[in-house]
Amino acid sequence: MTESKPTHARARLAPAGLMFLAITSISWGFNWPATKYLMSELPPLTLRGVTGVTAAALLAALAMARGDSLKVAPWLWPRLMLAALLNVTCWMVLMGLALLWLPASETVLIAYTMPVWAAMLAWPVLGERPTLVRAIALAMAFAGLAAIMGGNGIAASAAKLPGIIMALGGAIGFALGTVLAKKLPLPLPPIPAAAWQVGLGSFPVAIVGLLIETTHLGAVTQLGWFLLFYSVVMVSGVAYVAWFSALARLSASVAAIGTLAVPVIGVAVSALALHEPLGPGQIAALLFTLAGVALAALS
């Protein structure tokens, strides 16, 4: 018994798992300022939908190359559609539109309040009563949101209120999808599950975007094409595979804490590349949000 504990601890912090987690966090962190830049050249729904459908096709090809079956049992389709709606469609649409009103740095901070909302939604959905730690995590998340709201005065806060509401809606929707995944799990291999969810969730977004938005591909710069390639291949392809590989080697709490690097990278890169403000208000929002998410992940 005395020797099993260190072995288990080493498994929780497997070097390969940490490497995969780093790949995921860096890829997802860079994607927020990349998406913000791309939205200056492409309309939001078309951008999010088409890149999602392309990424789903790549994930499906990867699943078949690995020998994973893409077959879905008939009884599982309603559950899969619900997961795709909450985890992908709501996330893509609401977060994409939020970037029209908010800087990438503030959007990523609101997005990564997801674990806090998941911890609170676990009470009505799963019967997990909120603990004191979860209540404190929620309070810290609200403090982070307050710092975002009041960082540049009342007029600026009112102007970005639609973006804040949309980003919050996307984060809460994704959190609900995460909690429901425990109550209504998807008995599919990880990569096929991701391919189906991303594909089903992205397809209607792409169709609506292509029908109602005007896209001028000739206006896309070389940097824009590079960032599109990065978004599809690295963010939705390599990063997803790395994430599943990390989850297979690390405990859920270690993986959740590791993703806290995403908003840090998103905020820092947005300040450097997009010249977004990084003053006391943004730093306070970052610290409060990270602390709240860390508490929620550990509770």
The SS3 of residue 101 is helix
Mean pLDDT of the chain: 83
CB neighbour list of residue 157: distance below 8 Å, 6 or more residues apart = 149, 150, 151
What letter does residue 74 receive in the DSSP assignment? G
Stated as kind and residue range, the H or E segment containing 245 is helix 239-249
Say what the pLDDT of residue 175 is. Answer: 87
Looking at the predicted structure, is the pLDDT value of residue 137 above 80? no
Other Cβ atoms less than 10 A from the Cβ of 268: the count is 15
Residue 252: pLDDT band (50, 70, 90) is: low
Q: How many CB atoms lie within 10 A of CB 225?
A: 13
Report d(CA 30, CA 100) in Å as an integer: 18
Q: Helix, strand, or coil here: 186?
A: coil
Report CA Rg, the chain.
19
pTM of the model: 0.80
Give the phi and the psi of residue 79 in degrees, each rounded to 5: -65, -40
pLDDT tens-digit readout, 7-56: 444 445 578 888 888 898 899 889 999 999 999 999 999 999 999 999 99
The answer on pLDDT for 294 being more than 60 is: yes
pLDDT digits (tens, 9 = 90+) for 139-185: 777 777 777 666 554 445 677 889 989 999 999 998 898 888 888 88
238, burial (CB in 10 Å: exposed 0-12, middle 13-18, buried 19+) = middle
**Confidence class for position 221, pLDDT limits 50, 70, 90:** very high
Residue 250 pairs in a beta bridge with 13
Share of the chain above pLDDT 70, in %: 89
Tell me if residue 151 falls in helix, strand or coil. Answer: coil
Q: Which of 38-52, 82-96, 107-121, 192-206 has the lowest mean pLDDT?
A: 107-121
Is residue 151 a contact partner of residue 285, using CB atoms and an 8 Å limit? yes
